[in-house]
Every structure is written in structure tokens, then in C-alpha cells.
Amino acid sequence: MREFFEKLYKGDDVTLYACLRERLLNHQKTMVVTANPEILMKASQDETMRQALMNESTWITPDGEGVVHATKQLGYHLWGKIAGVETVEKLFEIGNEEELGLYIYGSKQEVLDALAEKLKARYPHLQILGLKNGYTNHDDEVASDMLAKQPDIVLTALGVPRQELFIWKYFHQFDQGVFVGCGGSLDVLSGTKKRAPRIFIRLKLEWLYRIASEPSRLKRFYDSNIKFLFEIRKLKKKGM
């Protein structure tokens, strides 16, 4: 587990976005993992997931107050949380400014339809190369279509860990691109779901708003976040 925190991006968001722009323009293939406790727990238990995170072309960013808190508890200096939804939105902006190609795989069809309308209106120079939902499409077929089109930005919204494992399975076949597993970010950016009010974000309670809005998340929250806290305590005690 400690290796993930050593690798974690600890700079500010402006620098991160500048680096991603540079990597896009230089065709430097990059996987971005917007890490929350659930992702780090999965990676500590699954060797394939671990390999994906520890690959030299992978950037791990702190998306989640639990990760931020744990990083500081383990003695690392960290600028702060960089929300995955904001990273995705910034990639849309960069893609529009640089006229890059975008491919999205995952989420529901109605979410993709709503998102497409917003993207066309707000980012007219962003080239939408593919929008495939995560329910009626097959991984191999989607990957083949992606490979044929060689997009600059690839977003997968298939849930953890499927979205990260999909990227990792096909990552080595691509020549370029920034790949991001973006979870529920598309729900928010499409307008089909609301992000937590600013006061929750400012008080670092976005997680609480999500649980209150979707009580079904509670078991998932326990399975990842609470167990994650125990793992961090063990790390601190061992000094490992």
C-alpha cells in the first residue's frame, strides 16, 4: 500500500493540467488514476490492478479526502485533493483548445446523449470520435474501434475496478493518448446528477453528501473507506 502513496502526485492542480496538456501534445501515452480509498484497496488486493497503478506511464492523483488525509498521516506533503470530475472537465477544455479527439466508453446511454449535447455546445472544437455506453457494448469491440481511431483522450466510466482494468488491458496497444477512469464524473458533467453543494466540498464532506443522496452507497463506503483507514493505521504502526 505504501508504494501507492510514494507514487501519488502531490503537486497542485494547475501544474497537473499543464503537464497533461504537454503530454497530449507530445503524444506521450498516459494513464491517469483518480485515486480514492476504493481504488487503492482494490489495487492492494489485485496484482493486475497494482501493475496498472505502478506502471511508469501511470499518474495517480488524489481524488478523495480519505486519500489526502492518509497521505498526510503517512508523512508526505500534499497540495490537496484534485477531484476527478474537475480533471475530466479540464481535459474537455484542453481538447477543445487543441482540437483533440475524444472517445468515451461507459455510463448509461441517456447520460452519454445528454453529455454529447453539452460537449457540442460548450466545446465545439473537441472532436468526439466515439461514445459507447457500458451496458450494450463489448470490451473487445470497443477497444478495436478505439485503436482504429487513435483518440487523444479516452474516458472509461465502467466503475471500479473494471474501468481501470479495461484501460490497462489495451493500454500497450495504443500509440498515444491520455486515459482516465472517470467513474460517475460523466453523470455530473452531463447534468443527470448534481455534484455536492459547494459548502460540502469546502468542508470536505462531499462523501457524506453522496451517501445521503444514495444510501445504497453505504455498504460500498464501509467496504472501501473504513477498511482503508484500518490499513493506514497498520502502516503507521509498522512504520512501513
Write out pLDDT tens, residues 84-102: 999 999 999 999 999 999 9
Tell me: cis bond preceding 37? Omega within 30 of 0 counts.
Answer: no
Can you give the pLDDT at residue 220?
Answer: 72
Residue that is written with C-alpha cell 472544437 in the block? 125
Contact of 61 with 36, CB cutoff 8 Å = no
Q: What is the value of pTM for the model shown?
A: 0.92
**CA-closest candidate to residue 220, choices 76, 58, 42:** 42
Cβ neighbours of residue 123 under 8 Å, at least 6 residues apart? 92, 93, 95, 96
Average model confidence (pLDDT) across the chain: 93
Can you give the pLDDT at residue 30?
Answer: 99
Write out pLDDT tens, residues 49-75: 999 999 999 999 999 889 999 999 999
Q: Is 5 helix (H, G, I), strand (E, B) or coil?
A: helix
Number of domains the chain contains: 1
The domain in which residue 117 lies consists of: 2-238
Q: Give the span between the Cα atoms of 207 and 217, in whole angstroms.
A: 10
Cα Rg of the chain, angstroms: 17
Tell me the pLDDT band of 194, cut-offs 50, 70 and 90. Answer: confident
Work out the average pLDDT over 136-157.
Answer: 97
